[in-house]
Structure 1
């Protein structure tokens, strides 16, 4: 596959926008009191986000379905994606994440308008720690992202072509296999920080939350915003470096 900058940008933007629309949408459905999904179920959110990844990745298939700068960087470090293509991937992911967040807000605008705790709606868009300690919060995001990227690189029977397109060993599952991994990460490792495991997934919607006209909204918590960017990037890079030295990478 030999896509130019614009084509990579387009497919990554479309896939990431869908990812965030469905991912932020499932959180809004659980959090907003006049939504039909209102309740208290972490697994509901984990499953929703997992299959949001499946849908977004399926749409972004022509570009390799990275939809995550940590994936892009991990594959680049593992020599599976050209460094020259990284800016197109990351820019498309960031723009798509912002658009997806805006679309999720539009979908639930009436529920936002009638929610009686508007100051607590930031979590619909982006992540935050249950126990703030930025160093440890980075470690949490690093570990969770490391698991995701290493699985992409080493999943049984999987290959990653020179064009950066992951081809998973279980052809019957395809991108759904990634959904199960994301659900597992969310259920197991998502408790401390909300498992961003994707810098674009957190930063794009955080920017959207900051600029959208949500009446009575709270702070975008910019002091924390660097954590779900740095942690996943370091986790992705470390996974790519480990892949390079493992026998399976040869």
Structure 2
């Protein structure tokens, strides 16, 4: 679990596509450096959010200045990590510990989809960014003033357009200097993780409704039966 508060910006030092005969399958292997500040307590198997994607540390150098990860095909399909190349900058955050203050919001590092930057408008020393989702259904989990993770950065939604599948955030000047988003141009892609709360509520409602529909004696079925009988009686003039 992460907070969406980016700790540092790392640099992709190596980015290698793997063939199907390698131990990593046909995914990608990446070495990320310029991040000694977050590797002081690193262990093999640790999770590090990389542009919002939870990745597992498989190797690190003796000086603890760089680490290696494997990126699976499913992750490449869901995220923009397939666009990385040597020299790319990435947002990095270690998994939280019990001592960490939750200054952002609960971020799993399980990217839902990607979005494209459609607008970036200066507003004083802040910047308003607008994004359009690739997978449109996820717009239903985005609400004004709700949380969202963009490339692993915890941000507040300032506007949502459900017809164009777009949403906006405002980034203050301090945050601009700590993350990669301000370096991206119009049409640039970002990883999106919607707030988990909305998905949990939706699933609970779905399961509850299905359970009530399957139970003929449930309150929902009794209500539906009552409404149908009332409508039939109205049609028959009773």
- What TM-score bracket applies, with the shorter chain setting the length? under 0.3
Pick the structure with more strand per residue.
Answer: 2
Q: TM-score, normalised by structure 1?
A: 0.21
Kindly indicate which of the two structures has a greater share of residues assigned to helix. 1
Query: Of the two, which has the highest radius of gyration?
Result: 2
TM-score (norm 2): 0.21
